[in-house]
Amino acid sequence: MLRVLALASVVLLGIAPQASQAITVYTSWERHALVGSDVRLSCSFFSWRFVSEDVSFTWRYRPDGSRDSVSIAHYAGGEPYTDNKGAFKDRVEFVGNPKRRDGSILIKNLDFSDNGTFTCDAKNPPDIVGRPSSVRLLVFETLPIQAGVITGAIIGVVLGLLVLIVVIYYLMRFLVARRVFSLSVSRNVEGPQLCILP
Interval 89-135: pLDDT, tens: 889 999 999 999 999 999 999 999 999 999 999 999 888 888 999 99
Question: Cα-atom radius of gyration of the chain, to the nearest Å?
Answer: 34
How high is the pLDDT of residue 56? Answer: 94
What pLDDT is attached to residue 13? 40
Residue 114's SS3 state is helix
What is the pLDDT at residue 170?
87
For the chain, the structural domain boundaries read 20-140, 145-183
Q: What is d(CA 56, CA 8) in angstroms, rounded to the nearest whole number?
A: 36
pLDDT (tens place) for every residue of the chain, 198 residues total: 445 444 444 333 444 345 557 889 999 999 999 999 999 999 999 998 899 899 999 999 999 989 999 999 999 999 999 887 788 888 999 999 999 999 999 999 999 999 999 999 999 988 888 899 999 999 998 866 665 666 777 888 888 889 999 998 888 888 777 776 666 666 665 555 555 666
User: Strands (DSSP E) along the chain, which ranges?
Assistant: 24-27, 30-34, 39-41, 43-46, 56-63, 70-76, 79-82, 92-94, 105-107, 116-123, 133-140
List of residues 6+ apart from 53 with CB closer than 8 A: 78
Task: Give the pLDDT score at 34.
Answer: 92
Nearest partner of 27 among 111, 89, 118, judged by Cα:
118
What's the pLDDT at 156? Answer: 87
Q: CATH classification of 20-140 is 3.30.365.10, yes or no?
A: no
Q: How many helices (H) and strands (E) does the chain have?
A: 2, 11
